[in-house]
A and B are shown apart, each in its own frame.
Chain A
Amino acid sequence: MILPQYLYIFRSTLFAGVFWLISISVIAQIENPVADSLLLDSSDSTSVLIQEGEVKSATGIDSLAKKKFISGLELAIDYGKLMTLWTQFESKYEAGINVRFFERVVLAGEVGYDELNPLKAYDNAVYYTVTGSYARIGLDYYTSYNPKSFYYGGVRYGMSMFEDEGVFLIDSEYWEDYEEGFGSTDITASWGEIILGTETYLKLGKKNPEDPTSKLLLGWKFRLRILMDFENREEPRIYSIPGYGRTFDKSVPAVNFYIKYRFGS
């Protein structure tokens, strides 16, 4: 049994760690000059090595028409969610697969599984658990800030299928306590998302640190989730939807931190 104060310390440390990772991402991006490296043909090894002064001329010679139709396949893992495995209140897993078209447009698919044990969902719950899986599909559009960092915006459609279960207790000073279980199965929900994100190539293992290409990318994205279809139970209300978040509002902001491996050029 983890004491609440240690849990609180862990959560704060986690927050600090995430803050540190974001800082790395930001610092990595401001070290380099402004240029749209996505306009460079990634299959051309000479174009990615051009220096700051040459970027303008290089961007001028390329066009979307020259890009490959499918220009890459990427696998992503949400490491921010993996950190929840050490907490008492939730365990989350999320991974994604991206197919990149013409370098700029990405067809993204994400799947995840959540087991949520929100300790404060109900003040008199003996326990309460929400478990379920979810999937999202959507498109992203990329633009580069410099040869190794990108910004992107996108949209998603998400669906979740889950169940919840709990037991609440009403204590009595004189009679036997009242305890009752509640829960539902096969609950479904769907939502839309607007995404803004950024990612940067990692230098890890690179012999030439000036070479912006890499197989690994580190990134984070801000999501605004807008609930579309969900019918909550009368009472007690369902507290949370895996992949979406708390049900108290029709829109929920969220941030994901991920690391991505890129196959191909």
Chain B
Amino acid sequence: MRNIAGIIILLLAITLFACEKEEDCVGCNLNPKIKIRFEATGTRLRTDSLLSSVNNKISLYTDSLAGDLTDEERNQLLAELSSLRSDSSKFSETSSLFRSGKAKLNLINAVGAQNLEQFQDTIIRDFAIPVDMRHDTSTFFFTHHDVVDTLQIYYEREITQSLDGVRMKLYGIGVIQEMSTFDSVRVTCYSSNCSNDITTIFVYF
């Protein structure tokens, strides 16, 4: 009997020391997301064109400074040169960002939601955006490179079960073209068989 009592006490002692507080967060981080790739094509060309134009002006103004100018004209040129150099630096930085395949996102807002804070002032290329689980469409407003573009995504919602619990998957993901203000949009694996794990929306601007 002593041995049995000893085992019971040992089990109780192990139990007391083994207790850990469990995290109590039901359903967190399970919002289904859709993959998006930002591709700067038109904007990149426009930026490169602007950069070239600004650099040409800088060159022209620099040459002009070597000529006979009044103090007032010289000061005016220097001020404009300063402004042009600032623009050139900005366009050069943006162009460099685009060449590396990235883009700068200032803000994402969505209908029915507030600012999607996690994307505020971020450098992006591929990202996954959470969608409204209570509706079959989600509308987003992307503020990037001084413009605001709209994207409306539609999808079919389906409840599935994983090893851990109940999840929502999205199928048949597409874009309502009439609502999109981007230069163009392309959806890979546009099919009702493709889930949000596979489908990617390419956004060209």
Chain A residues with Cβ below 8 Å from B16 are: 9
Q: Are A16 and B12 in contact (CB under 8 A)?
A: yes
**From residue 6 to 58 of chain A, which have CB atoms closer than 8 A to chain B?**
8-9, 12-13, 15-17, 19-20, 23
A176 at interface, CB cutoff 8 A: yes
- Residue pair A175, B27 in contact (C-beta under 8 Å): no
Closest to B11 in A: A16
Contacts of A13 in B (CB 8 A): 11-12, 15
CA distance A170 to B18 in the complex (A): 30
A83-91, A103-111, A120-128, A250-258 - interface stretch: A120-128
Residues of A within 8 A of B167 (CB): 124, 170
B29 touches A174 (CB 8 A): no
Interface residues of B in 106-124 (CB under 8 A from A): 110, 112-114, 116, 118
Kindly specify which of B64-72, B158-166, B185-193 makes contact with the partner chain: B158-166
Whether B134 and A178, one on each chain, are in contact in the complex, defined by CB atoms closer than 8 angstroms, is yes
Taking a contact as CB atoms under 8 Å apart, the answer to whether A170 and B160 are in contact is no
> What is the interface residue range for chain B against chain A?
35 or more
**Any B CB within 8 A of the CB of A169:** yes
Q: Is the CB of B130 within 8 A of A174?
A: yes
B26 interface residue, CB < 8 Å from A?
A: yes
Residues of B within 8 A of A17 (CB): 8
Residue A249 is within 8 A (CB to CB) of chain B in the complex: no
Contact call B12/A175, Cβ cutoff below 8 A: no
Q: Which A residues, 176 to 190, have Cβ-Cβ distances below 8 Å to chain B?
A: 176-178, 180, 182
Q: Which residues from chain A contact B21 at a C-beta distance below 8 Å?
A: 4-5
Contact status B112-A236, CB under 8 Å: no
Are B26 and A175 within 8 A (Cβ)?
no
Task: Return chain B residues, CB-CB under 8 Å to A126.
Answer: 26
B166 touches A236 (CB 8 A): yes
Query: Do A235 and B159 touch (CB < 8 A)?
Result: yes
Q: How far is the CB of A9 from chain B (nearest CB, A)?
A: 5
Contacts of B114 in A (CB 8 A): 174
Q: Chain B contacts of A172 at CB under 8 A?
A: 31, 130, 132-133
Residue from A5, A17, A124, A176 with most neighbouring chain B CB atoms (10 Å): A124
Which residues B6-50 have CB closer than 8 A to chain A? 7-8, 11-12, 14-16, 18-22, 25-32
Q: Is the interface of A mostly helix, strand, loop or mixed?
A: mixed
Interchain CB contact under 8 A, B165 and A124: yes
A168 within 8 A of B: yes
Q: Within 8 Å CB of B112, what residues of A?
A: 175-176
Q: Which residues of A contact B14 (CB under 8 A)?
A: 12
A5 touches which one: B19, B25, B132, B166 (CB < 8 A)? B19
In the complex the two chains form, what is the Cα distance from A169 to B19 in whole Å?
27
Cβ-defined contact, A20 with B27, below 8 A: no
Q: Complex formed: what's the CA distance from A17 to B12 in Å?
A: 11
- A237/B31 in contact, CB under 8 A: no
User: In the bound complex, how far is the Cα of B19 from the Cα of A207, in angstroms?
Assistant: 46
A86 to chain B, nearest CB (A): 16
Q: A172-B31, A237-B161 are in contact. Are A16 and B130 (CB under 8 A)?
A: no
Q: Among A20, A174, A175, A178, point to the contact of B8 (Cβ < 8 A).
A: A20
Contacts of A62 in B (CB 8 A): none
Contacts of A175 in B (CB 8 A): 31, 110, 112-113, 130, 132-134
Q: A23 — which chain B residues lie within 8 A by C-beta?
A: 4
Whole-angstrom distance from the CB of A120 to the nearest CB of chain B?
9
Residues of B that sit less than 8 Å from A by CB: 4, 7-8, 11-12, 14-16, 18-22, 25-32, 110, 112-114, 116, 118, 130, 132-134, 159-161, 164-168
20 new A-B contacts, CB < 8 A, other than A19-B4, A123-B164, are A5-B19, A8-B18, A9-B12, A12-B15, A13-B15, A16-B8, A122-B165, A124-B26, A124-B165, A125-B166, A169-B26, A170-B30, A171-B30, A172-B31, A172-B132, A174-B31, A174-B113, A175-B113, A178-B133, A235-B160
